[in-house]
Structure 1
Amino acid sequence: MTTQSMLDERYGRRRRGAPRWGIVVAITIGVIVTGLFGWMTIASTLDDVGADATGFEIVDDHSVVVNFQITAPLGRSVACALEAQDVEHGVVGWKIVEFPASDQHARAFRETIPTTAEATTGLVNSCWVT
Protein backbone atom coordinates (compact mmCIF):
# COMPACT_ATOMS: atom_id res chain seq x y z
CA MET A 1 0.00 0.00 0.00
CA THR A 2 1.26 3.45 -0.96
CA THR A 3 0.98 6.20 1.61
CA GLN A 4 1.02 9.93 1.14
CA SER A 5 4.43 10.21 2.72
CA MET A 6 5.84 7.63 0.31
CA LEU A 7 4.44 9.56 -2.66
CA ASP A 8 5.83 12.82 -1.31
CA GLU A 9 9.26 11.23 -0.92
CA ARG A 10 9.15 9.67 -4.39
CA TYR A 11 8.20 12.90 -6.19
CA GLY A 12 10.22 15.28 -4.04
CA ARG A 13 7.30 17.11 -2.48
CA ARG A 14 7.60 18.56 0.95
CA ARG A 15 4.76 19.17 3.33
CA ARG A 16 4.52 22.75 4.42
CA GLY A 17 3.25 23.77 7.80
CA ALA A 18 1.11 26.89 8.14
CA PRO A 19 3.27 29.96 8.71
CA ARG A 20 2.18 30.45 12.29
CA TRP A 21 4.51 33.34 12.98
CA GLY A 22 2.81 35.32 10.20
CA ILE A 23 -0.62 34.80 11.75
CA VAL A 24 0.69 35.79 15.18
CA VAL A 25 2.30 38.96 13.80
CA ALA A 26 -0.89 39.91 11.89
CA ILE A 27 -3.06 39.43 14.98
CA THR A 28 -0.62 41.40 17.14
CA ILE A 29 -0.57 44.31 14.68
CA GLY A 30 -4.38 44.23 14.50
CA VAL A 31 -4.69 44.41 18.28
CA ILE A 32 -2.18 47.27 18.51
CA VAL A 33 -3.89 49.29 15.76
CA THR A 34 -7.33 48.75 17.31
CA GLY A 35 -6.04 49.82 20.73
CA LEU A 36 -4.36 52.90 19.27
CA PHE A 37 -7.52 54.06 17.49
CA GLY A 38 -9.54 53.41 20.64
CA TRP A 39 -7.18 55.50 22.75
CA MET A 40 -7.14 58.32 20.19
CA THR A 41 -10.95 58.41 20.25
CA ILE A 42 -11.11 58.52 24.04
CA ALA A 43 -8.28 61.05 24.40
CA SER A 44 -9.88 63.47 21.93
CA THR A 45 -13.11 63.59 23.96
CA LEU A 46 -11.55 64.02 27.42
CA ASP A 47 -11.30 67.81 27.03
CA ASP A 48 -14.49 68.23 25.01
CA VAL A 49 -16.63 71.23 25.99
CA GLY A 50 -20.22 71.59 24.82
CA ALA A 51 -22.02 74.94 24.71
CA ASP A 52 -25.61 75.82 23.91
CA ALA A 53 -27.10 79.29 23.74
CA THR A 54 -30.43 79.20 25.57
CA GLY A 55 -31.50 82.75 24.76
CA PHE A 56 -30.50 86.34 24.25
CA GLU A 57 -31.87 89.78 25.05
CA ILE A 58 -31.14 92.99 23.17
CA VAL A 59 -30.60 95.54 25.95
CA ASP A 60 -29.93 98.61 23.80
CA ASP A 61 -27.94 99.70 20.73
CA HIS A 62 -24.67 98.92 22.49
CA SER A 63 -25.19 95.67 24.39
CA VAL A 64 -26.80 92.25 24.22
CA VAL A 65 -27.18 89.67 26.98
CA VAL A 66 -26.57 86.00 26.13
CA ASN A 67 -27.89 83.12 28.23
CA PHE A 68 -26.05 79.85 27.69
CA GLN A 69 -25.02 76.63 29.32
CA ILE A 70 -21.82 74.66 29.07
CA THR A 71 -20.89 71.06 29.77
CA ALA A 72 -17.23 70.68 30.63
CA PRO A 73 -14.86 68.18 32.24
CA LEU A 74 -14.93 68.26 36.04
CA GLY A 75 -12.19 70.27 37.69
CA ARG A 76 -11.10 72.06 34.48
CA SER A 77 -11.37 75.79 33.80
CA VAL A 78 -13.14 76.81 30.60
CA ALA A 79 -13.12 79.83 28.29
CA CYS A 80 -15.86 80.75 25.82
CA ALA A 81 -16.01 83.15 22.89
CA LEU A 82 -19.34 84.98 22.76
CA GLU A 83 -20.45 87.11 19.85
CA ALA A 84 -23.22 89.47 18.86
CA GLN A 85 -24.34 89.74 15.23
CA ASP A 86 -26.35 92.30 13.29
CA VAL A 87 -29.13 91.69 10.79
CA GLU A 88 -26.62 90.79 8.04
CA HIS A 89 -24.79 88.32 10.34
CA GLY A 90 -21.85 90.68 10.71
CA VAL A 91 -20.08 90.53 14.05
CA VAL A 92 -20.79 93.71 16.02
CA GLY A 93 -19.61 92.48 19.42
CA TRP A 94 -17.18 89.89 20.75
CA LYS A 95 -16.21 88.81 24.24
CA ILE A 96 -14.01 86.08 25.72
CA VAL A 97 -15.11 84.94 29.17
CA GLU A 98 -13.23 82.56 31.44
CA PHE A 99 -14.86 80.34 34.04
CA PRO A 100 -12.99 78.72 36.93
CA ALA A 101 -12.86 74.96 37.44
CA SER A 102 -15.94 73.45 38.99
CA ASP A 103 -17.16 70.16 40.39
CA GLN A 104 -20.34 70.48 38.29
CA HIS A 105 -20.50 68.96 34.82
CA ALA A 106 -23.15 71.37 33.46
CA ARG A 107 -23.44 75.05 34.34
CA ALA A 108 -25.58 77.96 33.13
CA PHE A 109 -24.36 81.54 32.64
CA ARG A 110 -25.60 84.98 31.63
CA GLU A 111 -23.11 87.41 30.08
CA THR A 112 -23.42 90.90 28.59
CA ILE A 113 -21.60 91.58 25.31
CA PRO A 114 -20.78 95.20 24.43
CA THR A 115 -21.53 96.00 20.77
CA THR A 116 -20.48 98.67 18.29
CA ALA A 117 -23.90 98.75 16.63
CA GLU A 118 -27.37 97.36 17.24
CA ALA A 119 -27.28 93.57 17.46
CA THR A 120 -30.06 91.22 16.40
CA THR A 121 -28.68 88.09 18.06
CA GLY A 122 -26.19 86.85 20.61
CA LEU A 123 -24.56 83.45 20.56
CA VAL A 124 -21.74 81.25 21.81
CA ASN A 125 -19.09 80.92 19.09
CA SER A 126 -17.01 78.24 20.85
CA CYS A 127 -15.71 77.02 24.20
CA TRP A 128 -12.50 75.24 25.17
CA VAL A 129 -10.60 73.95 28.19
CA THR A 130 -7.93 76.35 29.40
Structure 2
Amino acid sequence: MATTKKGVPAKATKAPAKTTKATARTSASKNTTATPSAAAPKSSPAKPAAKKAAPVKLTDNQVKFLQTIQAAGETGYEPKNKNEQRSIDALLTRKLLKRGSKNKETGNSRYLLTKAGAAHLPTS
Protein backbone atom coordinates (compact mmCIF):
# COMPACT_ATOMS: atom_id res chain seq x y z
CA MET A 1 0.00 0.00 0.00
CA ALA A 2 1.28 3.42 -0.91
CA THR A 3 1.56 6.17 1.66
CA THR A 4 1.14 9.88 1.22
CA LYS A 5 3.70 12.50 2.23
CA LYS A 6 2.13 12.83 5.68
CA GLY A 7 2.51 9.14 6.33
CA VAL A 8 -1.17 8.33 6.09
CA PRO A 9 -1.91 5.36 3.91
CA ALA A 10 -3.82 6.28 0.73
CA LYS A 11 -7.38 5.07 0.39
CA ALA A 12 -7.84 2.47 -2.24
CA THR A 13 -10.40 3.46 -4.85
CA LYS A 14 -12.06 0.75 -6.78
CA ALA A 15 -13.18 1.52 -10.31
CA PRO A 16 -16.80 0.59 -10.98
CA ALA A 17 -17.22 -2.62 -12.85
CA LYS A 18 -17.95 -2.07 -16.49
CA THR A 19 -20.72 -4.06 -18.03
CA THR A 20 -20.21 -5.31 -21.51
CA LYS A 21 -22.83 -5.83 -24.13
CA ALA A 22 -22.65 -9.58 -23.68
CA THR A 23 -23.29 -9.43 -19.93
CA ALA A 24 -26.10 -6.94 -20.42
CA ARG A 25 -27.76 -9.22 -22.97
CA THR A 26 -27.49 -12.28 -20.77
CA SER A 27 -28.89 -10.49 -17.73
CA ALA A 28 -31.72 -9.06 -19.81
CA SER A 29 -32.53 -12.43 -21.32
CA LYS A 30 -32.56 -14.00 -17.85
CA ASN A 31 -35.03 -11.39 -16.65
CA THR A 32 -37.39 -11.91 -19.57
CA THR A 33 -37.39 -15.68 -19.26
CA ALA A 34 -37.98 -15.52 -15.52
CA THR A 35 -40.99 -13.22 -15.76
CA PRO A 36 -42.76 -13.34 -19.12
CA SER A 37 -45.36 -10.78 -18.02
CA ALA A 38 -42.62 -8.17 -17.57
CA ALA A 39 -41.55 -8.59 -21.20
CA ALA A 40 -45.06 -7.96 -22.51
CA PRO A 41 -45.68 -4.31 -23.43
CA LYS A 42 -47.82 -2.51 -20.93
CA SER A 43 -51.06 -1.13 -22.30
CA SER A 44 -51.44 2.55 -21.64
CA PRO A 45 -54.67 3.71 -20.03
CA ALA A 46 -57.27 5.16 -22.34
CA LYS A 47 -56.81 8.84 -22.99
CA PRO A 48 -59.62 11.04 -21.70
CA ALA A 49 -61.86 12.67 -24.26
CA ALA A 50 -60.90 16.17 -25.34
CA LYS A 51 -62.69 18.84 -23.35
CA LYS A 52 -65.03 21.05 -25.29
CA ALA A 53 -64.67 24.79 -25.02
CA ALA A 54 -67.05 26.46 -22.64
CA PRO A 55 -69.88 28.27 -24.40
CA VAL A 56 -69.51 32.02 -24.67
CA LYS A 57 -71.76 33.90 -22.27
CA LEU A 58 -72.86 37.33 -23.41
CA THR A 59 -74.66 40.08 -21.58
CA ASP A 60 -77.85 41.59 -22.95
CA ASN A 61 -75.96 44.74 -23.99
CA GLN A 62 -73.43 42.67 -25.93
CA VAL A 63 -76.21 40.85 -27.78
CA LYS A 64 -77.82 44.19 -28.67
CA PHE A 65 -74.45 45.44 -29.84
CA LEU A 66 -74.06 42.38 -32.08
CA GLN A 67 -77.46 43.17 -33.58
CA THR A 68 -76.40 46.74 -34.40
CA ILE A 69 -73.22 45.44 -36.04
CA GLN A 70 -75.27 43.00 -38.09
CA ALA A 71 -77.60 45.82 -39.12
CA ALA A 72 -74.62 47.77 -40.45
CA GLY A 73 -74.34 45.18 -43.23
CA GLU A 74 -71.37 44.47 -45.46
CA THR A 75 -69.82 47.90 -44.99
CA GLY A 76 -69.18 47.09 -41.34
CA TYR A 77 -69.72 49.00 -38.14
CA GLU A 78 -67.51 51.88 -37.08
CA PRO A 79 -67.42 52.57 -33.31
CA LYS A 80 -68.47 56.03 -32.25
CA ASN A 81 -66.75 56.30 -28.84
CA LYS A 82 -64.36 54.53 -26.47
CA ASN A 83 -67.11 52.63 -24.65
CA GLU A 84 -68.16 50.98 -27.88
CA GLN A 85 -64.53 50.21 -28.66
CA ARG A 86 -64.18 48.37 -25.33
CA SER A 87 -67.23 46.27 -26.13
CA ILE A 88 -65.82 45.54 -29.56
CA ASP A 89 -62.49 44.48 -28.07
CA ALA A 90 -64.27 42.06 -25.73
CA LEU A 91 -66.19 40.56 -28.64
CA LEU A 92 -63.02 40.37 -30.75
CA THR A 93 -61.30 38.24 -28.09
CA ARG A 94 -64.26 35.86 -28.19
CA LYS A 95 -63.96 35.77 -32.00
CA LEU A 96 -67.52 36.96 -32.53
CA LEU A 97 -66.34 39.93 -34.60
CA LYS A 98 -63.61 40.44 -37.14
CA ARG A 99 -61.75 43.58 -38.10
CA GLY A 100 -62.56 44.88 -41.54
CA SER A 101 -61.01 47.58 -43.68
CA LYS A 102 -60.20 51.04 -42.36
CA ASN A 103 -62.26 54.10 -43.14
CA LYS A 104 -60.05 56.32 -45.31
CA GLU A 105 -61.46 59.56 -43.90
CA THR A 106 -61.28 58.82 -40.17
CA GLY A 107 -58.67 56.05 -40.09
CA ASN A 108 -60.85 53.88 -37.80
CA SER A 109 -61.38 50.21 -38.50
CA ARG A 110 -64.75 48.79 -39.34
CA TYR A 111 -65.98 45.60 -37.69
CA LEU A 112 -67.97 42.73 -39.16
CA LEU A 113 -69.91 39.88 -37.62
CA THR A 114 -68.49 36.33 -37.86
CA LYS A 115 -70.50 33.13 -38.20
CA ALA A 116 -69.91 32.43 -34.51
CA GLY A 117 -71.26 35.88 -33.70
CA ALA A 118 -74.32 35.28 -35.86
CA ALA A 119 -75.03 32.10 -33.92
CA HIS A 120 -75.39 34.17 -30.73
CA LEU A 121 -78.07 36.39 -32.21
CA PRO A 122 -81.68 35.57 -31.37
CA THR A 123 -83.67 34.16 -34.27
CA SER A 124 -86.63 36.27 -35.28
Q: TM-score, normalised by structure 2?
A: 0.27
Q: Which has the higher strand share?
A: 1
Q: Which has the higher helix share?
A: 2
